[in-house]
Amino acid sequence: MTEDEQKQAAAKAAVDYIEDGMVVGLGTGSCAAKMVDLVGARVRAGLSITGVPTSEATATQARALGIKIVGFDAIKRLDLTIDGTDEVDGQRRLIKGGGGAHLREKIVASFSDRMIVIAEAKKQVAQLGVFKLPVEVIRFAAPALLPKMAALGCTAEMRRAANGDLFLTDEGNYIIDCDFGRINDPEALALRLSTTPGVVEHGLFIGYADIILIGTDDGVQITDA
Ligand code: 5RP
Protein backbone atom coordinates (compact mmCIF):
# COMPACT_ATOMS: atom_id res chain seq x y z
CA MET A 1 0.00 0.00 0.00
CA THR A 2 1.23 3.51 -0.73
CA GLU A 3 1.11 6.10 2.03
CA ASP A 4 -1.77 7.72 0.21
CA GLU A 5 -3.71 4.45 0.21
CA GLN A 6 -2.98 3.99 3.92
CA LYS A 7 -4.36 7.46 4.63
CA GLN A 8 -7.42 6.74 2.50
CA ALA A 9 -8.07 3.45 4.31
CA ALA A 10 -7.78 5.10 7.74
CA ALA A 11 -10.03 7.96 6.66
CA LYS A 12 -12.66 5.54 5.33
CA ALA A 13 -12.65 3.54 8.57
CA ALA A 14 -13.07 6.74 10.60
CA VAL A 15 -16.04 7.98 8.60
CA ASP A 16 -17.86 4.75 9.47
CA TYR A 17 -18.08 6.04 13.08
CA ILE A 18 -20.19 9.02 11.97
CA GLU A 19 -23.92 8.69 12.56
CA ASP A 20 -26.84 10.77 11.39
CA GLY A 21 -27.36 13.95 13.43
CA MET A 22 -23.84 14.08 14.87
CA VAL A 23 -21.77 17.21 15.35
CA VAL A 24 -18.36 16.30 13.94
CA GLY A 25 -15.01 18.06 14.26
CA LEU A 26 -13.27 18.10 10.89
CA GLY A 27 -9.48 17.94 11.16
CA THR A 28 -6.78 19.51 9.04
CA GLY A 29 -4.06 18.08 6.80
CA SER A 30 -3.80 15.63 3.92
CA CYS A 31 -5.25 12.63 5.77
CA ALA A 32 -8.07 14.71 7.25
CA ALA A 33 -8.79 16.12 3.78
CA LYS A 34 -9.48 12.59 2.55
CA MET A 35 -11.86 12.10 5.47
CA VAL A 36 -13.65 15.38 4.66
CA ASP A 37 -14.05 14.25 1.05
CA LEU A 38 -15.63 11.00 2.27
CA VAL A 39 -17.93 12.91 4.64
CA GLY A 40 -18.96 15.06 1.68
CA ALA A 41 -19.83 11.92 -0.30
CA ARG A 42 -21.95 10.60 2.59
CA VAL A 43 -23.71 13.98 2.89
CA ARG A 44 -24.51 13.88 -0.81
CA ALA A 45 -25.95 10.40 -0.21
CA GLY A 46 -28.29 11.76 2.48
CA LEU A 47 -26.32 11.87 5.76
CA SER A 48 -27.24 14.84 7.94
CA ILE A 49 -24.39 16.10 10.11
CA THR A 50 -23.00 19.40 11.32
CA GLY A 51 -19.27 19.96 10.89
CA VAL A 52 -16.91 22.09 12.96
CA PRO A 53 -13.81 22.79 10.86
CA THR A 54 -10.41 23.09 12.56
CA SER A 55 -8.93 25.48 9.99
CA GLU A 56 -9.87 27.91 7.24
CA ALA A 57 -8.60 25.36 4.70
CA THR A 58 -10.91 22.65 6.03
CA ALA A 59 -13.81 25.12 6.21
CA THR A 60 -13.31 25.98 2.54
CA GLN A 61 -13.17 22.30 1.56
CA ALA A 62 -16.25 21.40 3.63
CA ARG A 63 -18.28 24.30 2.23
CA ALA A 64 -17.39 23.27 -1.34
CA LEU A 65 -18.62 19.75 -0.59
CA GLY A 66 -21.94 20.98 0.78
CA ILE A 67 -21.21 20.01 4.41
CA LYS A 68 -23.02 22.26 6.89
CA ILE A 69 -20.39 23.92 9.08
CA VAL A 70 -20.77 25.93 12.27
CA GLY A 71 -18.66 27.45 15.03
CA PHE A 72 -18.97 27.55 18.81
CA ASP A 73 -21.69 30.20 18.56
CA ALA A 74 -23.99 27.43 17.31
CA ILE A 75 -22.93 24.34 19.32
CA LYS A 76 -21.69 23.54 22.82
CA ARG A 77 -20.30 20.02 22.35
CA LEU A 78 -19.20 17.76 19.52
CA ASP A 79 -19.93 14.05 19.31
CA LEU A 80 -16.74 13.22 17.52
CA THR A 81 -13.62 14.78 16.05
CA ILE A 82 -11.60 13.07 13.33
CA ASP A 83 -8.12 14.43 12.70
CA GLY A 84 -4.71 13.44 11.40
CA THR A 85 -1.42 13.50 13.27
CA ASP A 86 2.31 13.98 12.74
CA GLU A 87 3.31 11.39 15.33
CA VAL A 88 1.50 8.98 17.65
CA ASP A 89 3.10 6.84 20.35
CA GLY A 90 1.94 3.68 22.12
CA GLN A 91 0.08 5.73 24.76
CA ARG A 92 -2.02 7.58 22.17
CA ARG A 93 0.01 10.74 22.75
CA LEU A 94 0.38 12.89 19.65
CA ILE A 95 2.47 15.57 18.05
CA LYS A 96 0.27 17.70 15.82
CA GLY A 97 0.59 21.03 14.09
CA GLY A 98 2.60 20.17 11.00
CA GLY A 99 -0.09 22.07 9.11
CA GLY A 100 -0.11 24.85 11.68
CA ALA A 101 -3.67 24.22 12.81
CA HIS A 102 -3.05 22.63 16.21
CA LEU A 103 -4.55 25.53 18.19
CA ARG A 104 -8.02 25.17 16.70
CA GLU A 105 -7.57 21.39 16.47
CA LYS A 106 -6.92 21.12 20.20
CA ILE A 107 -9.83 23.40 21.07
CA VAL A 108 -12.23 21.40 18.90
CA ALA A 109 -10.91 18.08 20.26
CA SER A 110 -11.27 19.33 23.83
CA PHE A 111 -15.00 19.91 23.31
CA SER A 112 -15.51 16.51 21.64
CA ASP A 113 -16.84 13.39 23.33
CA ARG A 114 -14.38 11.31 21.29
CA MET A 115 -11.35 12.01 19.15
CA ILE A 116 -10.45 9.61 16.37
CA VAL A 117 -6.96 9.97 14.94
CA ILE A 118 -6.22 8.76 11.44
CA ALA A 119 -2.83 8.31 9.82
CA GLU A 120 -0.52 6.31 7.62
CA ALA A 121 1.75 3.71 9.26
CA LYS A 122 4.90 5.86 9.40
CA LYS A 123 3.27 8.22 11.92
CA GLN A 124 3.53 5.55 14.63
CA VAL A 125 6.64 6.09 16.78
CA ALA A 126 8.14 4.43 19.83
CA GLN A 127 9.02 7.84 21.28
CA LEU A 128 7.69 11.29 20.35
CA GLY A 129 10.04 14.00 19.16
CA VAL A 130 11.53 13.15 15.78
CA PHE A 131 8.90 15.44 14.25
CA LYS A 132 9.64 19.04 15.22
CA LEU A 133 7.19 20.10 17.92
CA PRO A 134 5.16 23.11 16.71
CA VAL A 135 4.66 25.83 19.30
CA GLU A 136 2.27 28.65 18.38
CA VAL A 137 3.31 31.97 19.92
CA ILE A 138 2.00 35.50 19.77
CA ARG A 139 4.00 37.70 17.42
CA PHE A 140 5.02 40.20 20.13
CA ALA A 141 6.69 37.46 22.16
CA ALA A 142 8.34 35.50 19.34
CA PRO A 143 11.85 37.10 19.47
CA ALA A 144 12.01 36.45 23.21
CA LEU A 145 10.52 32.97 23.02
CA LEU A 146 12.85 31.63 20.31
CA PRO A 147 15.90 31.45 22.65
CA LYS A 148 13.63 30.41 25.51
CA MET A 149 12.47 27.38 23.51
CA ALA A 150 16.09 26.51 22.61
CA ALA A 151 16.94 26.62 26.32
CA LEU A 152 14.51 23.73 26.81
CA GLY A 153 16.95 21.53 24.90
CA CYS A 154 15.83 21.78 21.30
CA THR A 155 16.87 23.46 18.07
CA ALA A 156 14.24 26.13 17.64
CA GLU A 157 13.37 27.89 14.41
CA MET A 158 10.64 30.20 13.22
CA ARG A 159 8.36 28.50 10.71
CA ARG A 160 8.32 30.12 7.29
CA ALA A 161 5.74 29.99 4.51
CA ALA A 162 6.68 28.84 1.00
CA ASN A 163 7.37 32.45 -0.04
CA GLY A 164 9.89 32.90 2.79
CA ASP A 165 7.67 35.07 4.97
CA LEU A 166 7.11 34.05 8.55
CA PHE A 167 4.23 31.55 8.64
CA LEU A 168 1.01 32.99 10.07
CA THR A 169 -1.61 30.74 11.63
CA ASP A 170 -5.35 31.17 11.12
CA GLU A 171 -5.33 33.11 14.41
CA GLY A 172 -2.57 35.44 13.22
CA ASN A 173 0.22 33.97 15.35
CA TYR A 174 3.71 32.65 14.56
CA ILE A 175 4.97 29.08 14.99
CA ILE A 176 8.30 28.05 16.48
CA ASP A 177 9.27 24.53 15.39
CA CYS A 178 11.22 22.79 18.13
CA ASP A 179 13.49 19.90 17.18
CA PHE A 180 13.99 17.81 20.32
CA GLY A 181 15.07 14.62 18.54
CA ARG A 182 13.32 12.72 21.31
CA ILE A 183 10.99 13.92 24.05
CA ASN A 184 11.66 11.97 27.23
CA ASP A 185 8.86 13.41 29.34
CA PRO A 186 6.01 14.73 27.12
CA GLU A 187 3.76 15.54 30.11
CA ALA A 188 6.42 17.72 31.77
CA LEU A 189 7.24 19.48 28.51
CA ALA A 190 3.54 20.10 27.81
CA LEU A 191 3.10 21.64 31.24
CA ARG A 192 6.20 23.78 30.84
CA LEU A 193 5.02 25.10 27.48
CA SER A 194 1.43 25.64 28.62
CA THR A 195 2.64 27.78 31.51
CA THR A 196 4.99 29.94 29.41
CA PRO A 197 3.53 33.41 28.81
CA GLY A 198 3.30 34.14 25.09
CA VAL A 199 2.87 30.50 24.11
CA VAL A 200 -0.63 30.20 22.70
CA GLU A 201 -0.63 26.43 22.17
CA HIS A 202 1.81 23.58 21.60
CA GLY A 203 1.40 20.50 19.44
CA LEU A 204 1.54 17.87 22.19
CA PHE A 205 -1.88 16.25 22.46
CA ILE A 206 -1.89 14.17 25.64
CA GLY A 207 -5.10 12.58 26.79
CA TYR A 208 -7.06 13.68 23.73
CA ALA A 209 -7.05 10.72 21.32
CA ASP A 210 -9.52 7.95 22.09
CA ILE A 211 -9.23 5.82 18.97
CA ILE A 212 -6.25 5.55 16.63
CA LEU A 213 -6.83 4.21 13.12
CA ILE A 214 -3.64 3.44 11.20
CA GLY A 215 -3.68 2.35 7.59
CA THR A 216 -1.29 -0.57 7.06
CA ASP A 217 -0.64 -3.23 4.46
CA ASP A 218 -2.58 -5.65 6.67
CA GLY A 219 -5.65 -3.42 6.90
CA VAL A 220 -6.61 -0.68 9.32
CA GLN A 221 -5.05 -1.17 12.73
CA ILE A 222 -7.33 0.03 15.55
CA THR A 223 -6.13 1.14 18.98
CA ASP A 224 -9.05 1.92 21.26
CA ALA A 225 -9.15 3.39 24.74
C1 5RP B 1 -2.31 20.09 11.12
C2 5RP B 1 -2.09 18.77 11.73
C3 5RP B 1 -2.22 17.58 10.84
O4 5RP B 1 -3.19 16.75 11.36
C5 5RP B 1 -0.91 16.87 10.79
O6 5RP B 1 0.07 17.78 10.36
C7 5RP B 1 -0.96 15.66 9.87
O8 5RP B 1 -1.10 16.09 8.54
P9 5RP B 1 -0.97 15.09 7.33
O10 5RP B 1 -2.13 14.15 7.42
O11 5RP B 1 -1.00 15.97 6.10
O12 5RP B 1 0.36 14.37 7.46
O13 5RP B 1 -1.83 18.61 12.89
O14 5RP B 1 -2.07 21.10 12.04
Residue nearest to atom 2 of ligand 1 (CA): 97
The pLDDT of 20-39, averaged and rounded, is 98
Ligand 1 centre distance from Cα of residue 28 (Å): 6
* Sheet of 94-95, strand order: 87-88, 94-95, 204-205
Q: What mean pLDDT value characterizes the chain?
A: 98
Quick: pLDDT tens for 125-150: 999 999 999 999 999 999 999 999 99
pTM for the full model?
A: 0.97
105 classed as catalytic: yes
Burial of 18-50, coded b for 16+ CB within 10 Å and e otherwise, reads beeebbbbbbbbebbbbbbebbbebbeeebebb
Q: One of 3, 56, 105, 171 is an active-site residue; which one? A: 105
- Residue 41: phi and psi, rounded to 5, are -65, -40
> Is pLDDT of 50 > 90?
yes
Give the amino acid at 60: T
Max intra-chain CA distance, the chain:
53
- Mutation test residue for ligand 1: of 96, 104, 115, 116, the one with most atoms within 8 Å of CB: 96
**Whole-number pLDDT of residue 167:** 98
Q: pLDDT category, 44, cuts 50, 70, 90?
A: very high
> Is pLDDT of 225 > 90?
no
> Is pLDDT of 219 > 90?
yes
Residue 6 DSSP SS3: helix
Quick: pLDDT tens for 153-166: 999 999 999 999 99
Quick: pLDDT tens for 51-82: 999 999 999 999 999 999 999 999 999 999 99
For the chain, give the percent of residues with pLDDT over 70: 100
CA distance 91 to 88: 8
| Contact residues of ligand 1, CB 6 A cut-off | 27-32, 83-86, 96-102, 105
Ligand 1 centre distance from Cα of residue 136 (Å): 15
Ligand 1 centre distance from Cα of residue 96 (Å): 6
Q: How many residues does the chain have?
A: 225
CA distance 166 to 197: 21
Report the relative pairing of strands 23-26 and 80-83 from DSSP bridges. parallel
Nearest atom within ligand 1 for CA of residue 123: 12
Quick: pLDDT tens for 86-102: 999 999 999 999 999 99
For the chain, give the percent of residues with pLDDT over 90: 100
